[in-house]
Structure 1
Amino acid sequence: MIKPSDRLQALQNDILEDIARGEPLALCMERLCHQAEAISPGVICSVVTVDDQGHLQPLASPSLPDHYVAAIAGAPTGPRAGSCGTAIHRATPVEVTDIATDPLWEPYTQLVLPLGLRACWSTPIKARDGRVVGAFAFYFRTPRRPRALERRIVATCVHLCAIAIEHDEVRARNHHLAYFDTLTRLPNRAQFNDAITTMSAASRRYGLMLIDIDHLKIVNDTLGHAAGDSLIAGVGDRLSTALIGCLPCRIGGDEFAVLIPDCESPARMRSLASAALSAIAATPLEHDGHSIQPSVTIGGAIAGEDGEDSVTLRQKCRSRTVPCQGDSPRPLCALPPQAAQRDDAPHPNSQGCRRGARRRADRAVLPADHPARHGRDRRRRGARPHAAGRRAHRDGR
């Protein structure tokens, strides 16, 4: 016969091996509950986590009914929130020997007593930095306290839960760093590449928009990189708000890409481009006492109509970009082929257009008292700097 201590050691070895192999957290915790229940027949195990809003989130409760697990999902922690919610709130173990009479369970007695559960002992799960990240609970079918073996099981399981949850947090954090942009919190180039490759491989009908922020370098050079970061983050926020149901990504310094699922027609793309432009240019962005008017350039293409693979679609987008400048945004969509082939039409990225754009953007972001702005104002009025002083010198004054 296998001793309980040997079974407890085997439980610990199995769960640590699962964690090391990278098994999903929920599966690790479900296996832990099953093995703990096998060591001490008659107990029912449950593992819950707590979210940033202080609400319970069931992680593993394989022997509890689904409707009970669903009922406690999202329940708030607090001073009278059953055993788990109270243990997390207090950050100390809570032993309820009789659920029917204990005031901590008063809000939940009608839910738990029909299940034949009469006692519950819950222990908070703490991370290494002291945060309470969840709770491990033993339910009993008779009013009683835990026995010595059950306390040993709980101590081992709580330690394993802490390791597993922290390991999962690190994995989630690394995944977020790998697939999300830290400045805009949007998916990054790696996630964009995965998404467009998946869509292309599935032969899905989708649209692609490439969006460049205009004059970001001028903002950086004039107001500093913090202002440029504020501009990038602001454009990202407005894209997320305007393009619900799409996948906006930041794929470069001043470059965004938007994947549009089930985009069947150019009209839908024009509508989304117009919504994006309106949102981006709706109001100036404020940064450190300065107002910055966002402006972007957008190009679009539709899978199937403009190409099958991601490389071709991106090239199509690049050949069709149209800048949006001025005070009022206008819908931006792909240039028709006849317009793109006109020899006499100035290209939006031609040298003359770029010089004009730089001058307009430079003036837009400079503060009113900036000396360079005053210099341009004087030249615009035809007065050369220091001209009056030179005339006075020639006249002998």
Structure 2
Amino acid sequence: MITEPRPPLLRRLPAGVWVAAFWTAIVVFRFFTRDSELSHLFDYNGNTEDMPLVVTAVVTTLVAFLLVRLPLAAVAAALAGGVYSLGMWTVPATAPLQFLIAEVVVAYCVVTRSRLVSTIAVSMPLAVLTTLYAWGAVNGYPVNPYAYLGLAATVLIAWLIGNTVRQSRAHADALRGRAAEQAVTAERLRIARELHDMVAHSIGIIAIQAGMGSRVMDTQPAETRNALNAIEATSRETLAGLRRMLGALRQGEGESAPLEVAPGLGELDRLVERTAGAGVRVALTRRGDARTLPPEVDLAAYRIVQEAVTNVVKHSGTRDCHVTIAYEDRELGVTVVDLGAGAATGAPGTGYGLAGMRERVALLHGEFSAGPRPEGGFRVAARLPIPEEAALEVGL
């Protein structure tokens, strides 16, 4: 079992410890810079300026200790400090300061706690204000209703700020969740494309070989044997590819499995050989200086050729097709032309093959076209831009 390393000691200390150390340092500094005794710090008669300092230190330390585990108790501690500070007439700003500390805790509760806890947190300072106003009015103390209304308004402002932050976090979480769902969907589509391109080609070859073998079984046993050998080899290769792909997917569950090596234009010779075994001769032409391409461009080009050749095998009814790979300065050209029936290959936009090719090219911001040729047959053409970084690596 792997154990996580413990954080440094200073990071394990609660926030209240740091606040207490801060205020202790200030109180000690004040004591050594005055000529009086330490008892003046706790003079509640309003004759010293240090008493509000002690009250603020105690309140903020309690709030820091209670904030995370008991936020409502932190609100109560700040309000208690505010009520206690009302007796310090010479420093009238002390009580509002404690009240503002309580409002900060209220905003924290609204952001991080449930609706019930946040509602109780907001109600506590409003209840204290109402009680103080009623007590002052009953006992004949001068009370300013506008001051109490102003403090109540600051409580509502604290709630609004906290609620806004809470909604912003919820919105950000929703966006992240939607982005994660879109990423999962995109990955599923990518896997579906890979499976389609790999399986469709292999099944097409197997179907052609099986049909040819069944036709010559009685008259040409040697050709039947060759067809069966081709079916066996293609089936094994397809199963191996599926096993690698599924193994790579299971790695997310903690299982070790080899990752599938993505094919590229270097595999075209094997593709031509397999296609020839299905009875279709592929003439492969390379123009320009062949070089290493970015993986996404290399894979897309191979899959386009594979799918186009598969369509020739399955639909065109011809025995020949021509594949051209053109290496240019800033892009790669891929063209597959056959002299078959043309329309039998499928009109542009129908089926998953052409749609998959078009989608691959679009993801790379390239150009794609597919359709019957005026002189007969069918033509698939794609131009894939090579990223500038990859072009610079080869000195273009």
TM-score, scaled relative to structure 1:
0.22
Bigger helix share: 2
Higher relative contact order (CA 8 A, sep 6+): 1
